[in-house]
Amino acid sequence: MEKFVIEGGYPLSGTITPAGNKNAALPALAACLLTDEELVVRNVPRIRDVDAMLGLLAGLGVRVEWREDNVVALRAADLEDAAPDAVLAERIRASFLLAGPLLARLGRAEMPAPGGDVIGRRRLDPHLDAFRALGAVVEPARRSWRLAAPQGLRACDFFMDEPSVMGTENALMAAALTPGTTVIHNAASEPHVQDLARMLLQMGARIDGIGSNVLIVEGRDRLSGADYSIGPDYLEVASFAALAAVTGGELRIRDTNPADLRMTCLVFERLGCRVHFDGDDLVVPPKQELRIRDDEGDAVSKVEDGPWPAFPADLTSIALALATQAEGMVMIFEKMFENRLFFVDKLISMGARVILCDPHRAVVSGPRRLHGERMESPDIRAGMALLIAALCADGTSEIGNIRQIDRGYERIDERLRGLGARIERVAVERVPA
């Protein structure tokens, strides 16, 4: 058990490079099951969720080899099992991404219930509906599902009942190894879905409509290996930009993908955080006076999330923490997950003025000078929001349960120290029950 001890009030300045996109790396690693040839994935973040996915793959018989710090090679030549380890599966939501590749490659999969952040109900129906449309039989059991396609999957044309990111990724992988033309309507189009589609292109599938909500997949009866580099994590870019803004620092975030940050930049500017691009580098100017821009007619401004290209749900916690340091009032409307905002009591204990209207809406009034507190991180993004608050607060804060933060941010304490943060990772003794 470990915790972060943070002394706030110091500007974060300098230059930093974002890690690879966690949400792109996990399906890319799962896609190794689609071929018996070697798949090399570059720019893979060294985080807990990646470790869990690699453990799941190794348990299925995949040869896993780290070749450099962020380069992993996988070879699924001889799959030994179609039932991922249930204990490891409970650690990450992305464990269910193994279902599509196993079903397409072996014609069967026995999937335990996935884990992940407890941010609200997270339906598996889009995944299972996609498998049924592709010809699989789904048999639910207690906290598990048995999937079978003894005659093989068949290409189809189907409409997803919601643009589920992981549901789209599972359908994409299954369709890529199913000969014929599969059309996926109402598909998710997030940058990580696009990353997966481009990697499947390298492996031999043909996919039209990448970046749109209609994907046309020309599947193959065999896919080859590939050497693919994951794109930068736009969620991490936004997190670092918010950290610099609330601490008054000047930050250059190198090698971003500006196209992935358009809506984020619009929302951050609404919250008073100005940024600009120098080529592919995102620059946060120093000593900004954060001021929320009201909507037309002096109406209270509103930040709301939605499917891509709307503002990402994973950034609502970050936006809320940023808003506590901006002059004015804003409503944060988290439409997608009913538990996402339940961390705001921790910000309130630090001195933030936040009214939680209901599970989906919070009104933030700022700016408020925060003070250090002892807190626990409930999930990845709330953990980063607490870090943002602690680094701009007066005094010392402690954040426990930091394995949640480590699940999504690579060596975050080391990298923040490189920008001037006063943050230490401290071991915590277990207290007997």
Token match 């992940």: residue? 116
- The residues, any chain, with a CB within 8 Å of residue 298's CB and separated by 6 or more, are none
Domains along the chain with CATH numbers: 2-19+232-427 (3.65.10.10), 22-229 (3.65.10.10)
Residue 432 confidence (pLDDT): 64
Count CB-CB contacts under 10 A for residue 375: 25
**CA–CA distance, 337 with 248 (Å, rounded to integer):** 31
Contact 324, 336 (CB under 8 A): no
Residue 81 confidence (pLDDT): 83
Residue 122 confidence (pLDDT): 66
Contact 75, 63 (CB under 8 A): yes
Describe the crossing of helices 234-247 and 316-323 by its angle, rounded to 10 degrees.
10
**CA–CA distance, 429 with 433 (Å, rounded to integer):** 12
CA 429 → CA 67, 378, 424, 426, distances in Å?
35, 20, 16, 10
Token match 């909500």: residue? 213
**CA–CA distance, 176 with 173 (Å, rounded to integer):** 5
**CA–CA distance, 195 with 225 (Å, rounded to integer):** 16
Residues annotated as part of the active site: 117
CA of residue 366 relative to chain centroid, distance:
28
pTM of the model: 0.94
List, for residues 362-371, the tens digit of each pLDDT value. Answer: 999 999 999 9
List, for residues 233-284, the tens digit of each pLDDT value. Answer: 999 999 999 999 999 999 999 999 999 999 999 999 999 999 999 999 999 9
Contact 263, 190 (CB under 8 A): no
CA 355 → CA 271, 327, 341, 359, distances in Å?
17, 16, 11, 11
**CA–CA distance, 92 with 29 (Å, rounded to integer):** 14
AA identity, residue 175: A
What phi and psi values does residue 67 have, to the nearest 5 degrees? Answer: -100, -30
| Local structure of residue 33 (DSSP, 8 states) | G
Token match 């690693």: residue? 29
Residue ranges of the chain whose pLDDT lies below 70: 116-122, 431-433
Give just the sign of the alpha carbon dihedral 106, 110, 115, 119: positive
